[in-house]
Structure 1
Amino acid sequence: MSKIIRIFAFIFILIMVIAGTTGCSEPPPADEGEVHAAAKELLPLAVEANRIFFWEGLPHVEPDEDDSVDIGDAEYLELTEEYMYLSESDLMEKAEKVYTKKYCEDIRKVAFEGVAVTKEDALYARYIVELGVMKINRRLSEEGLAERIPNIDSIKTVEIKHDSAVLSVEFTCEGKVEIQNVTLKLEDDGWRIDSPTY
């Protein structure tokens, strides 16, 4: 093998080694203090969002045959005057401050479109807007999930990467303490939650 060929072979191998090392190296993990601080800020906001989308929902007027709208098994009532002229975008702003873009899309579908589990079993939208007035599915409001309140002082690290983290958090639900993993992801506008907290 000539000297020139050996040099080119060496350079080729060196480039491959460098490229392989660069491609396989993981960026350093995010700062744990920064991640915990973000979680302590996001979790209380998640409680506010969950009350709107998964728990009791926004307050509504008392049932009135003239005002209520029945769609399938859902009965929709106007929200109280303070909230009745809110739009879908107004409510989604609450979720967007807490959850990732992908997770917000799932919330939007459940809240404003509904979800068909089977042909016989459907979850009707929680909110509809009719003639500019927002209404809430009364049955979901009365049969909503029980509140699960996070203890932000209980946060512990399970795993942290450069753009994601898994944290262990204590939640209190109906007097019982449960431990749940909460996933955070780093988006363009900061950390957001990417898993259920309700």
Structure 2
Amino acid sequence: MKRNLSTVQYDPELVMQASFPAETEIYLLQNGLPSIDAGEAVLGICFTSFEHIGFIQEGAYELLPIGYEWDPCSAILGIAKNSGHVYSYQPNTKTIGFMNSNIQLFLSFLSSTRSFISSNTGGEPETMTLMTQSEAAERLAAFHRGEIVPQSRPQRRGNREADLKMLRETFIQRDPNSLADDNMWWSCVLEQLEVGLL
């Protein structure tokens, strides 16, 4: 699959107004974020500039929107002013959830997840079903109730269980806050990988 090597650039004034830690500011200003076609999106993550929005203010949080999960109406990704933490913001419910301590870790976790999926399915990540966060949560709950049985997977090149354990340990070592409880975004991703929903 051909990779799109273009990047999404962010308004330098907004980035500097955010008072991010230096490494986050420099990363966004110099590198931008990868432009990902919807067909190549890992976990539905796509980056876009949202320049017309400015900052999203919700309670004590002020976020620079950097992208979305599946679609911008269900979950917007944002980097918090000052701290540089990455959050998911659901506009419909006005809820905010921590994802990673910085954008570099978020990108690293996405890359590791893509590699895991690729090495454990014998190819590129499968086309994923588009769903909102609430639909994904309901699907996971239905799995726990026994209403959904995961489809059998093709022969895997790697040892899925050992690879998943290593992925979890890597996430914990690099950014323990991302897995601080079972309701964290990355905790849910790992659980879905464990039970075969992803």
- TM-score bucket of the superposed structures, by smaller chain: under 0.3
Largest Rg, 1 or 2: 1
Question: Which of the pair has the greater relative contact order for Cα pairs under 8 Å at 6+ separation?
Answer: 1
- Which has more strand, going by share of residues? 1
Q: With structure 2 as the length reference, what TM-score do the two structures score?
A: 0.28
